[in-house]
Amino acid sequence: MRRDRSTAIVSLAAIGITFLVLWLLHSFGGYYIERIVIGIGINLILVISLNLANGFTGLFSLGHIGFMAIGAYASAILTLPLSLKSTNLPDLPVFLSKIQMPFLPAVLVGGLIAMVVALLIGLSLMRLTGPYISVATMGFLVIVQVVLTNWDSMTRGARTFAGVPEYTNVWNVWIWAILVLYIVWRIKFSSFGRKMMAARDNEIAARSLGINVMASRLLAFCISAFFTGVAGALWAHFITAFSPKSFYFSQTFSVVTMLVVGGLGSLSGSVVGVMLITILSEILRNAERGFSIGPLVIPEVYGASQVIMAVLFVLFIVFRPRGLFGDAELDVRRFFKKEKEVSG
């Protein structure tokens, strides 16, 4: 009972502090900081849901950005103002050309479509293991890419899909991010999470304990696809103009990097991974434009930030292959307790 209550208090306090910080950044940080904060929120959703699929079940999907694309396009099509629909998407099926949905339902539909697709492909993909699943999911990513570039009437093909209403803001993104973190956290510490992780650690033993490995993987894959679709929709209403190639390997790489740095299976790790990589690459991106320390002048070297990040990533993987956190979680209470011991 005491433990329950203290966990609840710590969680609520953390959420309160998060929103206080968001409010401060929103009020005093300006537009640039706001864009970073929104970007972090969206990446949190992407990385946490990828963790649910990849970290918990051990099946390393490289196709998740395909779900992001599905969510983005679905929500963009559903919310596009009717005037723009007639000019930008003249060949839309009638039932779509006449509707303009509000933000929330469109985001939910985007997530649901991604989830249904995940269910359909998951029924066959979830039987695979190891590298096969990575290759097969990457195949899915390629298929999504091809479908998006060829389905002109829905997506404008390879052309820029512009005019998506800019609905995304700090608040709706972060409410989603915290919701996703909370839900995936609850899944991790329930029978569902244990089944996923048991099957990851030893499939044969898991089956000998009555665990339906296929079903638990499918559950992880589908929930994960739903949230990835949601993140895609939020991203669409943040960037407002994109094309299929926005959802391809470089986006995949960016999300996978954040996940691996944080640690597969650790949600605390995902949060730290996203923040760390975002902020570090922002610092480097600004630094590569050249700067001076006293008499020392460093000239601009474009691309240096990517190279440094890549080298750091490689070193990180070599020296800390299980990421910052492995699959453990940061225990705030333990952290404070130690603090007291040290200071007292």
Question: 192 — phi, psi (to 5°)?
Answer: -65, -45
Query: Which region, judged by CB under 8 A, interacts with another protein, from 33-41, 61-69, 101-109, 224-232?
Result: 33-41
Query: Which region, judged by CB under 8 A, interacts with another protein, from 70-78, 111-119, 130-138, 242-250?
Result: 242-250
Taking residue 130's Cβ as centre, other Cβ atoms within 10 Å add up to 10
Which DSSP symbol is given to 168?
Answer: -
In angstroms, the Cα distances linking 197 to 96, 100, 124, 135, 180 are: 41, 41, 20, 22, 19
Question: For residues 96 and 275, which CB has a smaller minimum distance to another protein in the complex?
Answer: 275
Is residue 187 near another protein by the rule CB under 8 A? yes
Maximum Cα–Cα distance across the chain: 71
Query: Which region, judged by CB under 8 A, interacts with another protein, from 97-105, 126-134, 225-233, 269-277?
Result: 269-277
Instruction: Give, as ranges, the residues between 79 and 98 that touch another protein (CB under 8 A).
Output: none
Q: Tell me the closest approach of the beta carbon of residue 264 to another protein, in angstroms.
A: 10
From the list 66, 165, 263, 265, which residue makes contact with another protein (rule: CB under 8 A)? 265
Element (H, E) at 312: helix 304-319
Which DSSP symbol is given to 157?
Answer: T
From the list 209, 298, 310, 314, which residue makes contact with another protein (rule: CB under 8 A)? 209
Is residue 256 near another protein by the rule CB under 8 A? no
Site string for another protein, 210-229 (x = CB under 8 A): xxxx-----x----------
From the list 92, 99, 147, 239, which residue makes contact with another protein (rule: CB under 8 A)? 239
Q: Tell me the closest approach of the beta carbon of residue 287 to another protein, in angstroms.
A: 7
Q: What is the CA radius of gyration of the chain?
A: 21
Dist. CA 237–CA 116, nearest whole Å: 22
Q: Tell me the closest approach of the beta carbon of residue 78 to another protein, in angstroms.
A: 19
Q: Tell me the closest approach of the beta carbon of residue 322 to another protein, in angstroms.
A: 9
Note whether 255 and 44 are within 8 A (CB): no
Dist. CA 107–CA 70, nearest whole Å: 11
| Alpha helices (runs of H) in 191-303, residue ranges in sequence order | 191-201, 203-208, 213-239, 249-262, 267-287
Dist. CA 147–CA 117, nearest whole Å: 13
Instruction: Give, as ranges, the residues between 273 and 302 that touch another protein (CB under 8 A).
Output: 275-276, 279-280, 282-283, 285-289, 300, 302
Question: For residues 169 and 240, which CB has a smaller minimum distance to another protein in the complex?
Answer: 240
Instruction: Give, as ranges, the residues between 155 and 174 that touch another protein (CB under 8 A).
Output: 156-160, 162-163, 166
